[in-house]
Amino acid sequence: MKPIPLDHPLRRLFSGWTEHAFLVHLGVADPPLIDYLSDLLTRFIHMDSLYRRVDRGKHPAEQILGMLDEANALPAGGRTQREVYRHIGDFTLFWTGLFPEAVAQSRSRLTRDLFVSYCQSGKKSYEIASHYVDETCEAESGVLRRLSEQFEVCAYGLSQIRQEWDQLTGQSDSTIRGRIVDLP
């Protein structure tokens, strides 16, 4: 799957929503953090990015414990282990912030994740990922540390973005309905 180009309208939309939610609603003036979250939204447009094949390519990992098992099975200290922990943080933040109802619904199913806290798993995963520092990811390590420390604030910011999305969807639906009614 190709990444979405930097000048794509969807990327600009997510960037605007993220900046508005964090600067206006939350008073968080952290451009690297805001850019990271905007990029996360853009990356997860592709389901393949959300449900990455982290379990040695067998099938997409959909449960946190499966992802944690995979991270723990990798050689310690490697970039790959860092990427898996970062993905767990991204995955849990995405669901907690944008679709908390899906997280609550998943608790009603008997899965390995039944007693897993998305917030605690996300915070811990970002913290672990932030400790892997090399020249290629030094700046991102600081962002991951802040995501760990401010996980709940970031989840709330993403919930504000969800509200913007819901408002846009509602406007689009009513506009479409209005045009259909006006047809001869």
Which residues, including other chains, have CB under 8 Å from residue 66's CB and lie 6 or more apart? 54, 55, 112
Kindly tell me if the per-residue pLDDT of 182 is higher than 50: no
Q: What confidence tier does 178 reach under pLDDT thresholds 50, 70, 90?
A: very low
> 129-147, pLDDT tens digit by residue?
999 877 777 889 999 999 9
Average pLDDT over residues 33-38: 98
First-to-last C-alpha distance (Å) of the chain: 42
> 117-131, pLDDT tens digit by residue?
889 999 999 999 999
User: Residue ranges per domain, the chain?
Assistant: 52-176
119 backbone φψ class: left, alpha, beta (φ>0; ψ -120 to 50): alpha
CA of 56: how far to CAs of 59, 122, 140, 164, in Å? 8, 21, 25, 37
Which residues, including other chains, have CB under 8 Å from residue 102's CB and lie 6 or more apart? 95
Greater pLDDT, 146 or 59: 146
Helices first, then strands: H and E counts in the chain: 9, 0
pTM of structure = 0.81
Helix (H, G, I), strand (E, B) or coil at 75: coil
Average pLDDT over residues 93-106: 88
Average pLDDT over residues 165-172: 75
- Among the ranges given (25-29, 90-94, 103-107, 154-158), the one the predictor scored with the smallest mean pLDDT: 103-107
User: What pLDDT shows up at residue 173?
Assistant: 47
Token pair of 148, please? 């760990």
Nearest to 51 by CA among 39, 40, 63, 41: 63
- Average pLDDT for the chain: 81
